[in-house]
Amino acid sequence: MTYTVWYKSIGQIFWHRLLNVRGDGFVETNAARWFILDDETRIEISCNNMIFKFSKDRWMMIKKSMEEDIHQPIITKL
């Protein structure tokens, strides 16, 4: 399962899009987010003056992983 991430600089009009993201995280030492794409490409984007949006598929991926870890369904209210 993969998801989409949109990002843009604060004050900019247009969003950039990363497709087929299968993992992400944060690097505290240089305040950047990293993304792993389906083809194993790693992309780092500075968080300085940036806004990130994640598709709902990211939450579904996290939820599924949590359910597998605890061996029971997680009920969420939307």
**Can you give the residue ranges of every domain in the chain?**
3-70
For the beta carbon of residue 19, count every other beta carbon within 10 angstroms.
11
DSSP, collapsed to helix, strand or coil, labels residue 67 as: helix
For residue 78, is pLDDT > 90? no
Q: What is the pTM of this model?
A: 0.84
Q: Which helix (H) or strand (E) holds 50?
A: strand 50-54
Q: What are phi and psi of 70, to 5 degrees?
A: -100, -5
DSSP 75: -
pLDDT computed for residue 54 by the predictor? 97
Could you give the 3-state DSSP secondary structure of residue 31? coil
Q: Tell me: the pLDDT tens digits for 17-58?
A: 999 999 999 999 989 999 999 999 999 999 999 999 999 999
**pLDDT class of 75 with cuts at 50, 70, 90:** confident
Structure confidence at residue 39 (pLDDT)? 97
